[in-house]
Each structure stands twice: as structure tokens, then as C-alpha cells.
Amino acid sequence: MRFSARWEESGEAMNLNAIENVVRWAGGVFAYVALGIVLFGVWKGTRRGAGRSTGRGGKLLRNWWFYFASAVFYFGIAWLGWVPLKWTFSPQARAWVLVIGSLLYFPGMTFVLWGRLALGENYFVSTGFGAQLFADHRLVTTGPYAIVRHPMYAGLITAAVGALLIYATWTTFFFACLSPLLLIRAFREEAVLSAEFGGDWKEYCRRVPAFLPRLKR
């Protein structure tokens, strides 16, 4: 009986490990695809005419060394910190952590990608120090932007927490802790959008919440 019970536990652990590997692999592919689409949008944005900007860092967004330094920093942190956290869970708890992480990560990344594609040519990067629009910028209020004003940031914060539960590394812990700083970037973007679109922006803010969808319209 003891041998049978151990055999069953060993089989369950192997199945859970296999499922974890598949989920982590799928999450990595999703992240790289989304990153590629986002970076392509940034590259296209640097080739378009600059419009209204806000903050001291608006001009940084068109300098190649800014993107080089940012890439070195973030990829360096990701590489150095890809060390497992010393979390110990029972198989049942591991399964629940994986389920909850997946329910946060994959919908969050989907929201990020949906928001990026909905912006189309109006997408550009911003920082906590400044944001910049294009000379012919258009206010997008459809797709996920009809649900919340910052779907990409809401998705990234959600996905960061999910990634922490799925991968459980110091890298994901670091990014999950940093994700609330996206609120500062959202503030910068709202300032320049308000200055550019005036009454249309105020009406849009009245109808659509910033990060959390309204359950009742």
C-alpha cells in the first residue's frame, strides 16, 4: 500500500511538472511575441513626426541610446535575477498557484497585446519622466480603450503578478514590485492627452475609467 501511494504521488508530481513546463513555455513565447510587436511599434514611432510632449524626458524617447541603455538594464536584470525563489508548496498548493498565475498572466498579456494593436500607428513608448504624441496623433477610444483608459498598463500589472506565480524567480518578483510605477507613466500620458484633446479627453475620462472596468455602465 505504501509503495502504491508513493507511486501515485510520484506520478502526480511528474504530471504537475510537465504541466508547469508547458505553461512556462507558452508564457515565454507569448511574452516574446508581445515584446516584438511592441518594439516594432516603438521603432515605427521614432520615424514619425513628433507632436506635443510633457515632462523633461519627452525628448529622450527619440534617442537610440535611451533604448540601448533601457534594454541593457532590463535584460541584465532579467538574466541575473532568473534564480528560483525558495518557495515550498504541497502539490495541491502548487497546482492552485499555477492556475491562479495563468488566470492572471495570459489574460493580462492578451490585454497588453490587444491594446497595442488597437492603438495601431498611434502607439509610442513613454516613461515616468515624460510622454510624447505624434504630430497627427489621434485619440483612440475603441477596443480595449472603450473598457479602460490604460489597458496595456492594466494588463502589464496583472501579467506581472501572474508571472511571479508561474515562474517564481527573483526577476519576476522584481518586475512585479516595479509594475505599480506604470501609474506614473499613465499620469504623464494623461497630462499630454488632456492638453492635446481638451474637451474630447475630458468626456472620454468621464465615460471610461482608468484601470478597473466598471461592472455597471
Is residue 155 in a domain?
A: yes
In a domain, 77, yes or no: yes
Q: How many domains does the chain have?
A: 1
What pLDDT was estimated at residue 11?
A: 53
Domain extent, residue 55, equals: 13-207
Decide if 212 is inside a domain.
no
Tens of pLDDT, residue by residue over 127-173, are: 877 888 999 999 999 999 999 999 999 999 999 999 999 999 999 99
Residue 66 lies in a domain: yes
What CATH code is carried by the domain that includes residue 187? Answer: 1.20.120.1630
How far is it, in rounded angstroms, from Cα 137 to Cα 200?
A: 13
Average pLDDT over residues 55-71: 78
Within-domain flag for 4:
no
3 inside domain: no
Let me know if residue 94 belongs to a domain.
yes
* Residue at 122 is within a domain: yes
Distances in Å between the Cα of 93 and the Cα atoms of 96, 99, 105, 167 are: 5, 10, 18, 15
Quick check: 158 and 128 in contact, CB under 8 A?
A: no
* pLDDT, average across residues 71-96: 90
